[in-house]
């Protein structure tokens, strides 16, 4: 039992490390594609997790997979939007690239599971790891799409707002957004039974829809989601 628990923790650590690394790499690739050399000059065009993990965020990541800590982060990619041909469009593309990368990881995991299933090569360890890989990348995707800056979803929403409203929303998010997000998490965790929890509804709606989409794309039933 103890060995099984350690293995699950290891699977979670690997899945989240992959998710954080490729999420940040997605931002870097998109910004460089739009003409910004900053991520390349800072060494962020790399698959090396050490290039993307923040020291304190890595500690939080370890706590997340061992004791159930609920919040971890990677090192944000520094960008210079002045290089983008279109500022708003560029910001949207760069912000969306991180969550998109997490969906690609989940999709690749689902596709590999379908291939192994067709070959009769699936087993409990593989099913467990792929399930964790898919679920945690979808969690990263859905969390980062919350429309509150400084999260990616907040940046996308801001760039869709008219005129000065966009920059006011970004400024507000940089000052108060993280506090609002943490407050929503605390309310959801420590006040159970609420008739209406925006945080839970956001996660359940997006997560169930995305997992169902993956299930449709794979020619074999995906393993039961496991966190």
Q: Give this prediction's pTM.
A: 0.92
166 phi/psi in degrees, rounded to 5: -60, -45
47 phi/psi in degrees, rounded to 5: -90, 0
Please state the rounded mean pLDDT for residues 81-85: 96
Do residues 137 and 106 touch, judged by C-beta distance below 8 A? Answer: yes
Per residue in 141-185, pLDDT tens? 999 999 999 999 999 999 999 989 999 999 999 999 989 988 888
Please state the rounded mean pLDDT for residues 188-208: 75
DSSP string, 87-137: HHHHHHHHHHHHHHHHHHHHHHHHHHHHHHHHTT---HHHHHHHHHHHHHH
| More confident site: 198 or 103 | 103
Q: Where are the alpha helices (DSSP H) in the chain?
A: 2-33, 38-41, 55-66, 87-118, 124-144, 152-160, 163-172, 178-190, 198-217
pLDDT at 33: 97
| More confident site: 120 or 94 | 94
User: Does position 9 have pLDDT exceeding 80, yes or no?
Assistant: yes
Q: Which of 189, 207, 185, 188 is nearest to 197 (CA)?
A: 188
pLDDT at 126: 85
| More confident site: 96 or 216 | 96
Residue whose token pair is 């006040």: 191
By annotation, the residues acting in catalysis are 24
């Amino acid at each position: 039992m103890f060995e099984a628990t350690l293995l699950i923790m290891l699977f979670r650590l690997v899945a989240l490390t992959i998710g954080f690394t490729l999420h940040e790499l997605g931002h870097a690739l998109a910004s460089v594609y739009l003409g910004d050399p900053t991520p390349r000059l800072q060494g962020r065009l790399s698959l090396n997790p050490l290039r993307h993990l923040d020291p304190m965020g890595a500690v939080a990541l370890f706590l997340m997979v061992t004791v159930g800590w609920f919040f971890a982060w990677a090192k944000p990619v520094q960008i210079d939007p002045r290089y983008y041909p279109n500022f708003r469009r560029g910001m949207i593309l760069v912000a969306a690239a991180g969550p998109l990368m997490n969906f690609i990881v989940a999709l690749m995991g689902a596709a590999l599971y379908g291939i192994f299933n067709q070959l009769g090569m699936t087993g409990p360890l593989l099913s467990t790891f792929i399930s964790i890989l898919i679920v945690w990348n979808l969690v990263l995707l859905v969390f980062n799409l919350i429309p509150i800056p400084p999260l990616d979803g907040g940046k996308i929403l801001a760039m869709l707002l008219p005129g000065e409203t966009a920059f006011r929303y970004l400024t507000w998010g940089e000052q108060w957004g993280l506090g609002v997000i943490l407050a929503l998490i605390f309310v959801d965790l420590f006040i159970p039974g609420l008739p209406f929890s925006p945080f839970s509804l956001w996660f359940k709606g997006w997560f169930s829809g995305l997992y169902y989409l993956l299930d449709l794309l794979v020619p074999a039933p995906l393993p039961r989601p496991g966190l």
